[in-house]
Amino acid sequence: MSGEGSKAAVGSIAHVGIAAKYNFLNYFRARRFYVMLTIILIIAGLLTALVGYYRPPGFVDGGALGFYGAGWGSFASIVVVLSAAFFGGDAISGEFQNRTGYFLVPNPIRRSAIYVGKWLAALAASTIILGIFALAMLANGLFYFPGSIPWEFAESFAFAWLYLVAAMSLAFAFSSLFKNSSISVLMSVILLLFVFSVIDTVSSLVAGVEPWFSLTYGAGIVSNILSVPYPAAKTVTPLGPGGRFTVVSYNATVPEGLLILSVYIVVMAVLGLVLFERKEFTS
């Protein structure tokens, strides 16, 4: 037996790359990538057709910025949430439920390297999806407003991508928390699409508190940046006879939004990693 010398110890950074590479290959070949691709192509196709046919004033009368705000601004978050849940929601739970972890984990590799590698693969796959959706919106924008791509659209894309990173961290944390992959995917979608929005509304409308603790509130900067002027941080609208009631609504400023997104990225990444490190392969 040759033992020494026939193998070099592989560093953990290299392990991250290896885990990312093969997981990406698996994503790229799997049906779900194409399901996701089909979903966003349908959304983009419907938008293109409806705008082309009806020319709604919200889209075409507000200049290029208004156009991108109505299209990309309203739908980017949904694409982000769906792809984070699709690619990240069962990334870890699937290793347990499908027993693929039994092939990968009992090897000379740290669990953290597996986690980060899978996270990068999922992020890469969903970045492709988000990028294709952005290109479709851009193509539409250039058709109606040729020659002018507003700088804010690039900013909005960057914010949407940051939101994707945060949503992916959160989906991974959920996938580490649950052993059943359908539950972890469903929980990620429900949380990101509904629960956070309800929290936003309840917090500002009922309690009159700025929902600085909510991920979707922070992600509001994706569409906020596309409205001119940038929405006020706090609006108080009188309501009812003689303005007896007031409705308070909040909007995250760009620095606030960036901070909220960054905090979610870090906290959820750490939480998910700790959960995965402690999780046991029992059947």
Partner 1 sequence: MPPSIEAQQLTKRYGQFTALSGLDLNIHGTKCVGFLGPNGAGKTTTMKILTGLIRASKGTALINGVDVASDKKTALASCATLIETPEIYPSLTPKEALSMLCEIRGVPRQDRNKRIDDALARVKMSEWADKKVGGFSKGMKQRVNVASTLLSDPEVIILDEPSSGLDPRGMSEVRDIVMSLRDRLVFMSSHLLAEVTEVCQEVALIDHGKLLVYDTIENVTAKFSGGGGAVEVGFAGNVDEQLRARVSKLPGVTSTTKSNDRHLLLKYDTAVLTQDKLLESVAGLKAGAITFSQASGLEDAYLSLIKETL
Under rule CB under 8 A, residue 244 binds partner 1: no
Under rule CB under 8 A, residue 13 binds partner 1: no
Taking each helix axis from N to C end, the angle separating 111-144 and 31-54, rounded to the nearest 10 degrees, works out to: 20
Residues forming a β-bridge with 283 = none
Under rule CB under 8 A, residue 246 binds partner 1: no
Q: Exactly one of 109, 171, 261, 275 binds partner 1 (CB under 8 A); which one?
A: 109
- Is 179 in contact with 92 (CB distance < 8 Å)? no
Residue with token string 């990538």: 33
Q: Return d(Cα 146, Cα 237) in angstroms, integer.
A: 37
Residue with token string 């959304």: 43
How many residues sit close enough to partner 1 to count as binding (CB under 8 A)? 37
Residue with token string 């945060």: 166
Q: Which is nearer to partner 1, 182 or 246 (CB)?
A: 182
Strand, helix or coil for residue 245: strand
Under rule CB under 8 A, residue 142 binds partner 1: no
Q: Return d(Cα 158, Cα 160) in angstroms, integer.
A: 5
**Per-residue contact flags (x/-) with partner 1 for residues 15 to 54, judged by CB under 8 A:** x--x--xxx-xx--xx------------------------
Under rule CB under 8 A, residue 281 binds partner 1: yes
Q: Return d(Cα 250, Cα 232) in angstroms, integer.
A: 8
Under rule CB under 8 A, residue 143 binds partner 1: no
Footprint (CB under 8 A) of partner 1, residues 188-217: none
Q: Return d(Cα 137, Cα 74) in angstroms, integer.
A: 11
Under rule CB under 8 A, residue 233 binds partner 1: no
Q: Exactly one of 13, 53, 106, 151 binds partner 1 (CB under 8 A); which one?
A: 106
Q: Exactly one of 13, 147, 243, 283 binds partner 1 (CB under 8 A); which one?
A: 283
Q: Return d(Cα 48, Cα 243) in angstroms, integer.
A: 41
Q: Exactly one of 13, 53, 108, 244 binds partner 1 (CB under 8 A); which one?
A: 108
Strand, helix or coil for residue 239: strand
Q: Which is nearer to partner 1, 23 or 140 (CB)?
A: 23
Q: Exactly one of 7, 53, 240, 244 binds partner 1 (CB under 8 A); which one?
A: 7
Q: Which residues of 147-175 are buried (b: 16+ CB within 10 A; e: fewer)?
A: eeebebbeebbebbbbbbbbbbbbbbbbb
Under rule CB under 8 A, residue 241 binds partner 1: no
| Cβ at position 102, least distance to partner 1 in Å | 3
| Cβ at position 107, least distance to partner 1 in Å | 5
Q: Which residues bind partner 1 (CB under 8 A)?
A: 1-3, 6-10, 12, 15, 18, 21-23, 25-26, 29-30, 98-111, 278, 280-283
